[in-house]
Structure 1
């Protein structure tokens, strides 16, 4: 039963059809080869000469190989192989063949397909009528008189006629076996010749890495913006609820802070969601959308915690920082404030506790950020499993070529970040992969402490 399925099952029939398609594609090249052979041999007995036909077949294959070098041949071959050869989708490459290696492999597959297809197609056209005629010899006196009258003496024996039907069936089975074997050869060679080349795999990996980088950046934007807003709003609302009857003026200020925080966050959220709704992938500049250090005043005014802010490098220094560094520095400060609200002594003792200290210093070659807040109850600081905030800070710093760290220092929690003002270098050890790995390690260590 397994043998019958292998020779005549659905997959075998589809592969047979695939081979016949290869024979049909071979015909134009074969006709050109026939013309060339006829011109070389004077056109004598061209179609009845086996050597002439073999010569035309031999000339057709190199011409087919040249056609297979075109880039658009690969997607057509891949589509046919997936549909008819039963080759798994994942092992075949998508898109045109762009590299030399991909084109050579495609040409090899195309030539192999047409060569095997030409042989199987020719046998499919010629052998079944002959096999049927042989099988019908015992039943047709006309066939016997035509075929056996001048044939060898053994073929005139009764036992030879009795075996003729079995011989005809054997020919058809042999044809099916040849077609199945040829289809299996194509199916086994498809992943090698039509599969992704090392260049294709590298391009796909780079595409996935770029897509992941954009998604991670957008995720960090949402985490820092929405997370900070929720922390600030929660703290302000809780403080306002506690003093609602005693201090209406404080409640009014808290509600104003909640209004300003939510309005700013809704604008940032709408911008990020707009990037996610785009048909194409946002480029790096779009994905880095967000406020910069010039908006730091509004953030500190309505963050829900008193902040002692100090700027070094001149009053206009933060505004002169490169835009991408300015955006990342703003997010780092925002996440630091969120951590102070959620985990520090500020959240534990309310808005009247010791203020957060923030230093933003523009040095000759780097931007330095230092933030300190009271540590509070150590049990309240610990978070099972950690969070994503400090990891995001580390990623932002390392991807710019800088560094960041956070941890307890006495009775305060200190967050530091140093961001280079110049573009990140391309020296060994500072490429994107190295920076991303460093960000992952730094973020994981910081989260474990926080």
Structure 2
């Protein structure tokens, strides 16, 4: 492997990959990654719960199940889930605070903290952030630094939400939570901290599995609009509009891993297979599931559904502009295919691939070298482009479609956007079905 990375950097990637492949029980991972993180430094955080409507919950979940049926082939067997309460948190940049300054408490009033947060907002963009974690771990508290950075760079505000995790809550529970959260942004119930938000000023942002969920929600919206459906919500029949755009970091859009770019293993923390498939993977009360299934997120009948693996969505016609960015990583193949299909549908899409960078390189954790954006030019550039794109999309401006490979030195090489993955959509579907 020819690389400009130092041996220390290579060792960090290899060590992280080995640790992930060694296998930690899923119940342990959930417990570790679900701990509340203290809020420190330049962050405003305001917490709230969006309460599920007692009467209209079935109308919301039916939108998702109708899309599953419309976009599938009839073989799917999704589990039935109702709408449930969703915990959300607003994050904003807290101007003038110090790096280690503790969270401000205002008579324990989350609503007053929201008002303080809004006093520091300089731009109308609202970023709806979809957290990553493979659908089976993580909480919004672990994304404070990411959402605060995006709020700082855009001058706007972020809303992240806790969707239900697998394997306890399989597909489409997380997607139902995402739809309910988005609808609550646009049409807030009495008692919500915010006023109704124009969908054109909302930008979806997500990383890894969160990027998958954001793009799946776009497919739900497009499918719903094609049938002329409306949503019964807060006592009214409402439209389901598209947001201003989508921004996706290190998007994992193929749950089968059949489209894995295994030539990138040397740079990435993944190796192109799920550790929980291995016979030696340690069992726990959550996994392996009883009865067994193909993935923690869903069973085999759903692995190739475009709301589970949106890389093989048939059409993106009518979608808002979409920005992809990521490292030279194993999941790149699925993101490349999605960008390619969007371009073939004459959609507005930008694809940026950063040489020698691993999955989620600018945001993984405070101890991850590449996440120290002040020290890594690739991370600085990626975060700035991410924020700039959120701002542009919220203002109704379009993206000039392109695909680029960005070297460690910052030089851009143009890529063929219409043949970015090297295979067609039909070939990808065949590969994924054979894998399942």
TM-score scaled by length of structure 2: 0.21
Q: Which has the higher contact order (CA 8 A, sep 6+)?
A: 2
Larger radius of gyration: 1
- The structure with the largest strand share of the pair is 2
- The structure with the largest helix share of the pair is 1
